[in-house]
Chain A
Amino acid sequence: TVGAVAVDSEGNVACATSTGGMLNKMEGRVGDTPCIGCGGYADNQVGAVSTTGHGEAIMKVVLARLILFHMEQGQSVEAASDLALAYMKSRVGGLGGVVTVDPQGQWAARFSSLQMAWAAAQKDTLHYGLYTGEHFTQSI
């Protein structure tokens, strides 16, 4: 699965997510990605999220919209992402990852698996990582 979230100079947010799905899935199996609120969600009043991981688990907790609910309650993009991923892991034993932004341009790339390839660009700086805890930067 691949995905992206963005905030433009007018403060509009958007998300996009695309996937081949799960390895050796049954024919006709559809996961979280095309389900609004699960594979992605975007609302200028709250923020935008793109998710990746075990689709059947993501759908059970409606992961993308759950993160934005936490943000509506005042949590930061990072805390909201971590809270929702932790709930998915504890409630249904699912692993996953998210990229999240709010309309002010705060962003987070968080995951409960061991790895997620991610990158972010803001103020002419490129941020990126792969393993838990990695956060490298370079000038764009």
Chain B
Amino acid sequence: MFPVVVVHGGAGHIPKERSENSTSGVRSATRAGYTILQRGGSSMDAVVEAVTQLENNPSFNAGCGSVLNIKGEVEMDAIVMDGKTLGSGAVSAVRNIANPIQLARLVMDKTGHACLTAEGANQFARSMGVPEVPLESLITDYSRMRWKKNLAPDANPVECQMGKMG
């Protein structure tokens, strides 16, 4: 049995000037997950660590660096699933949380539910002692630029984000 961890940083349009950051970000996150596996850690620990690193990396659409909604705010979604128990935890439309993936894991570990959403997810975070962060800390110049650019009436946000077919 060979331990393995595989990471993605999102499919879609990645401008050339951002491609190096994207590639180095996923490589670094993969190394972090693999180190956990090499030390005998669980696959759940490995994937949560890898995704946490990418949420903290402003080059990716998750955590810090998330795209903005139509109001210029950040609402995030996350899920974890454990292949041994089929246990799963998720959060949706959660705000002001630096690492939604860690909150999703708490939903799996600490509640009998599969998903908590919006204000309920934020209340759960407070009850678990997960600190809330200011909205500004999750927004980057790049995400704000893309938000403004796609407010135009003739904009196509899906095509802007997904790019052309491969």
The reply to whether chain A is a binding partner of chain B is yes
Most interface-central of A21, A50, A130 (chain B CB within 10 A): A21
Out of A36, A54, A89, A111, name the residue touching B79 (CB < 8 Å). A36
Bound: A13/B84 CA distance, A: 7
Asked whether, in the complex, the Cβ of A8 is within 8 Å of the Cβ of B61, the reply is no
With a cutoff of 8 Å between Cβ atoms, the chain A residues found around residue B66 in the complex are 19-21
With a cutoff of 8 Å between Cβ atoms, the chain A residues found around residue B164 in the complex are 113-114
B114: Cβ under 8 A from any A Cβ: yes
With a cutoff of 8 Å between Cβ atoms, the chain B residues found around residue A96 in the complex are 11
B68: Cβ under 8 A from any A Cβ: yes
B127: Cβ under 8 A from any A Cβ: no
Against B, the Cβ 8 Å flags (1 = close, 0 = not) of A100-118 are 1101110111011111111
Asked whether, in the complex, the Cβ of B118 is within 8 Å of the Cβ of A28, the reply is yes
Against B, the Cβ 8 Å flags (1 = close, 0 = not) of A115-140 are 11111111100101010100000001
Bound: A31/B69 CA distance, A: 12
Interface size class of B (residues with CB under 8 A): 35 or more
With a cutoff of 8 Å between Cβ atoms, the chain B residues found around residue A100 in the complex are 6
Asked whether, in the complex, the Cβ of A126 is within 8 Å of the Cβ of B30, the reply is yes
Which A13-64 residues have a C-beta within 8 angstroms of B?
13-31, 33-36, 39-45, 47-48, 50, 52-54
Against A, the Cβ 8 Å flags (1 = close, 0 = not) of B97-131 are 00111001100000000110110000000000000
Q: Quote the shortest CB–CB distance from A83 to chain B (angstroms).
A: 15
With a cutoff of 8 Å between Cβ atoms, the chain B residues found around residue A73 in the complex are none
Most interface-central of B27, B40, B79, B114 (chain A CB within 10 A): B79
Query: Which 8 A-B pairs have CB atoms at the shortest separation, nearest pair first?
Result: A20-B66, A97-B11, A117-B9, A121-B34, A13-B83, A34-B90, A42-B83, A2-B54
With a cutoff of 8 Å between Cβ atoms, the chain B residues found around residue A111 in the complex are 11, 166
Bound: A80/B22 CA distance, A: 26
Against A, the Cβ 8 Å flags (1 = close, 0 = not) of B1-42 are 111111111111110000100110111011101100100111
Which residue from chain A places its CB closest to the CB of B150 in the assembled complex? A24
Q: Quote the shortest CB–CB distance from A47 to chain B (angstroms).
A: 8
Out of B41, B51, B61, B115, name the residue touching A20 (CB < 8 Å). B61
Which residue from chain B places its CB closest to the CB of A97 in the assembled complex? B11
A67: Cβ under 8 A from any B Cβ: no
Bound: A39/B70 CA distance, A: 22
Bound: A7/B63 CA distance, A: 25
**Given A5-B5, A23-B146, A33–B43 Cβ distance below 8 Å?**
no
Out of B7, B118, B165, name the residue touching A118 (CB < 8 Å). B7
Bound: A5/B105 CA distance, A: 14
**Given A24-B157, A30-B93, A44-B84, A116–B1 Cβ distance below 8 Å?**
no
Q: Quote the shortest CB–CB distance from A10 to chain B (angstroms).
A: 8
Bound: A9/B163 CA distance, A: 38
A66: Cβ under 8 A from any B Cβ: no
Q: Provide 23 A-B residue pairs closer than 8 Å at the C-beta atoms, listed in order of the A residue.
A: A2-B29, A2-B55, A5-B6, A6-B4, A6-B6, A6-B50, A15-B81, A17-B51, A18-B51, A18-B54, A18-B63, A20-B61, A20-B143, A21-B66, A23-B147, A27-B69, A27-B75, A33-B78, A34-B77, A113-B163, A114-B163, A119-B23, A121-B33
